[in-house]
């Protein structure tokens, strides 16, 4: 029988499990269920509970529909819970790492990955919250207060929970690192500029943050997808989108005043709302939570100054080209390549074609994936890193194991160091692929870098290569038996891309 351990919180006692080398507490409520009249409102305080609450099973994922990249469906709005993973060895004042999952803004949950290796090897406490997604996290409507920021507000509430409660688990509330990947990293960019996030965390790690700064040309996120605007929308723009969407889907009675329309919207079944979830993944600015666009605020240095880490994977876009083009029977071909270039880059298409000529790559799909990686991921990430480095200590990495086992296999498509492939080195995924001994060694090194950063604000660990700040031009390449500097600008042809819009 697995031994149990009880921790008393302000809201009540929770009983977790003592496992191999760590303690696990799962499904702890950090706010009231955002249901009924609490839909599209800031998180409300959780009601205290009597006795001891079992904290041995994960909480319900935020409402979401299954996707080709995420086979999870949920329509339960009672989702504001978090997990806490603690090294089993006695200790107090440990660094805390709060992890925000990815999933494109519509999918994901805390339960998909096990952070025990990071917690135990790094001697850190890892907190993984669920938060509202898609149409429930970023919806806006005329007269709806805080529209577009409910997921952000959930995360702030989880961070306040950490401030109140983490010392009871042996953590230091004055040493909190906010880390996340993909959509989670995008949200961290918002926290860096949100005045209501001030003081809730002290360092940040942004892994594969997509398009924090600037727009994305047609087809360079997913082949077939038009040009994407910046990842931030104004509150007015979002309210107009919400009104148009509600009318189109028949969620409101035509001619309803804003108050009655919102009452109707709060009664729409979750499964119906989720049909429009993909349109509501951009946090909005112009309100008290996010007064201005993070892109503008970061460029101007108007953000919470703290040590920062960020980076990308070597072959980010192969995930999107492989999954949404090749695996659906619509690979990029020699015939379609010029059309994609023309639609993405206009008058500069010939210049891009010369720089990325098809004879350099095994297939046209891999050529297009390289363009997408360089233009949609490497360029904006490098620009973000250099922007941040002008104001605070910043470290940049590239996960570069091109033999990394993908979390989601893409049969017949060479994935390389694909988007999210580094997560398998940081976390355990139930039923996921295994790592070779050399990859395990890299994983251990990465976790020690991340833990050192969480502890001290510098990714410096004994017996690991030095990692200079990005202000020196240094990018730390992370690959088995090849940790050290790399020429990121040359690798991703950033001088070439700097001359193009």
Centre a 10 Å sphere on the Cβ of residue 318 and count the other Cβ atoms it contains: 29
The DSSP H or E segment spanning 25 is strand 22-29
Q: CA-CA distances (angstroms) from residue 262 to 70, 92, 239, 309?
A: 30, 47, 12, 40
Centre a 10 Å sphere on the Cβ of residue 441 and count the other Cβ atoms it contains: 14
Helix axis angle for 364-372 and 336-345, nearest 10°, is: 10
* Closest C-alpha among 13, 497, 359, 164 to residue 488: 497
- SS3 sequence of 273-331: HHHHHHHCCCCEECCCCCCCCHHHHHHCCCCCCCCEEEEEECECCHHHHHHHCHHHCCC
- Distance, in Å, from the CA atom of 26 to the CA atom of 38, rounded to the nearest integer, reads 23
Contact (Cβ atoms closer than 8 angstroms) between residue 60 and residue 4: no
Contacts of 329 (CB under 8 A, 6+ apart): none
Catalytic residue ranges = 182, 316, 419
- Distance, in Å, from the CA atom of 209 to the CA atom of 314, rounded to the nearest integer, reads 14
By DSSP bridging, strand 81-87 and strand 203-207 are unpaired
């Amino acid at each position: 029988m697995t031994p149990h351990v009880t921790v008393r919180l302000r809201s009540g006692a929770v009983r977790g499990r003592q496992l191999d080398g760590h303690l696990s507490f799962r499904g702890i409520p950090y706010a009231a269920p955002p249901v009924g009249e609490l839909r599209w409102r800031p998180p409300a305080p959780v009601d205290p509970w009597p006795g001891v609450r079992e904290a041995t099973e994960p909480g319900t994922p935020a409402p979401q529909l299954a996707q080709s990249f995420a086979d999870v469906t949920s329509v339960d709005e009672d989702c504001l819970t978090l997990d806490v993973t603690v090294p089993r060895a006695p200790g107090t004042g440990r660094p805390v790492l709060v992890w925000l999952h990815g999933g494109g803004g519509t999918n994901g949950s805390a339960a998909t990955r096990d952070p025990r290796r990071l917690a135990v090897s790094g001697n850190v406490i890892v907190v993984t919250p669920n938060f509202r997604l898609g149409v429930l996290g970023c919806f806006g409507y005329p007269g709806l207060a805080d529209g577009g920021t409910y997921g952000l507000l959930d995360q702030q509430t989880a961070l306040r929970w950490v401030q109140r409660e983490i010392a009871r688990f042996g953590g230091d509330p004055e040493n909190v690192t906010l880390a996340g990947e993909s959509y989670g990293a995008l949200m961290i960019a918002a926290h860096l500029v949100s005045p209501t996030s001030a003081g809730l965390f002290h360092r940040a790690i942004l892994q594969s943050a997509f398009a924090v700064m600037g727009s994305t040309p047609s087809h360079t996120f997913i082949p077939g997808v038009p040009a994407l605007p910046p990842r931030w929308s104004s509150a007015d723009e979002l309210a107009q989108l919400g009104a148009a969407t509600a009318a189109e889907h028949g969620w409101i009675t035509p001619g309803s005043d804003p108050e009655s329309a919102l009452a109707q919207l709060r009664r729409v079944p979750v499964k119906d709302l989720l049909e429009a979830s993909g349109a509501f993944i951009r946090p909005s600015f112009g309100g008290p939570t996010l007064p201005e666009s993070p892109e503008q605020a970061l460029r101007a240095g108007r953000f919470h100054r703290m040590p920062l880490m960020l980076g990308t994977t070597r072959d980010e876009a192969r995930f999107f080209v492989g999954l949404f083009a090749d695996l659906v029977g619509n690979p990029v071909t020699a015939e379609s390549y010029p059309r994609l270039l023309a639609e993405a880059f206009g008058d500069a298409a010939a210049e891009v074609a010369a720089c990325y000529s098809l004879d350099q790559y095994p297939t046209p799909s891999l050529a297009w994936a390289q363009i997408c990686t360089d233009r949609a991921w490497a360029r904006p990430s490098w620009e973000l890193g250099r922007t941040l480095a002008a104001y605070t200590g910043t470290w940049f990495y590239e996960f570069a194991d091109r033999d990394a086992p993908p979390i989601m296999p893409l049969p017949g498509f060479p994935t390389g160091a694909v988007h999210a492939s580094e997560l398998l080195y940081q976390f355990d995924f139930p039923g996921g692929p295994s790592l070779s001994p050399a990859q395990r060694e890299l994983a251990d090194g990465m976790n020690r870098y991340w833990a050192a950063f969480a502890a001290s604000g510098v990714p410096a660990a004994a017996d690991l290569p030095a990692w200079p700040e990005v202000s020196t031009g240094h990018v730390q390449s992370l690959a088995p038996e090849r940790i050290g500097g790399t020429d990121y600008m040359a690798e991703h042809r950033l001088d070439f891309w700097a001359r193009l819009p």
